[in-house]
Chain A
Amino acid sequence: MPQRWRLFPHWNVAHNLRFAAHLNSNLRGSKQRMRILQLAQRLQVAHLLKRPTRALSGGETQRIALIQTLLSPAKVLLLDEPLSAVDAALQSAVLELLGEDSAEYPRICLIAVHRPHSGHPMQGTLPIEKGQLISEAKPATNS
Chain B
Amino acid sequence: MAGIVGTLLVAFLIVPLVQLCWVSPAAIAGLFRVPEVRDALVLTFICAAIAAALGLVFSAALGYFLARRPIWLSRLLLPLLDIPLLIPHPVAGIALLLLLARPGALNQFLQWLHLSPDSGSLLGTPVAIVAAMLFVSAPYQTQVCRQAFAGVDPAYALRARTLGAGPWQTLFHVELPLVRRNLIGGAALALARSASEFGAILVVAYFPKTLPVLIYEKFSTQGLDAVRPLAALMVLAGLLLQAALHFLQPNELMEHA
Contact = CB atoms under 8 A, between A and B. Distances in A.
Contacts of A6: 153, 155-156, 159
Interface of A: 1-2, 4, 6, 8-10, 19-20, 23-24, 54, 68-69, 72-74
A1 B169 CA distance: 19
A24 B178 contact: no
Contacts of A4: 155
Given A20-B163, A73-B164, A74-B163, A8 B155 contact: no
A73 B155 CA distance: 19
A133 B169 CA distance: 37
B15 interface: no
A10 B162 contact: no
A19 B164 contact: no
Main secondary structure of the interface of B (DSSP, over half): helix
A19 B169 CA distance: 10
A5 to B, nearest CB: 8
Main secondary structure of the interface of A (DSSP, over half): loop
A27 to B, nearest CB: 11
Interface string B129-157: 00000000000000000000000010110
Contacts of A20: 163-164
A10 B172 CA distance: 12
B163 A54 contact: no
Nearest to B164: A23
A23 B163 contact: yes
A6 B155 CA distance: 8
Lowest 8 CB-CB distances: which A-B pairs, in order?
A23-B164, A72-B163, A9-B256, A10-B177, A73-B164, A20-B163, A72-B164, A9-B253
Contacts of B257: 9
A35 to B, nearest CB: 15
A8 B178 CA distance: 9
Given A1-B162, A8-B174, A54-B256, 9 more contacts: A4-B155, A6-B159, A8-B178, A9-B178, A9-B253, A19-B173, A23-B163, A23-B169, A74-B163
B256 A19 contact: no
Given A9-B253, A10-B178, A19-B173, A2 B155 contact: yes
A37 to B, nearest CB: 19
Interface in B45-96: none
Most chain A beta carbons < 10 A, residue from B153, B163, B177: B163
B250 to A, nearest CB: 14
B171 interface: no
Given A8-B156, A9-B256, A24 B177 contact: no
Contacts of B256: 9, 54
Most chain A beta carbons < 10 A, residue from B164, B165, B178, B256: B164
Contacts of A24: 164
Contact of B253 (A10, A69, A72, A74): A10
Interface in B166-221: 169, 173-174, 177-178
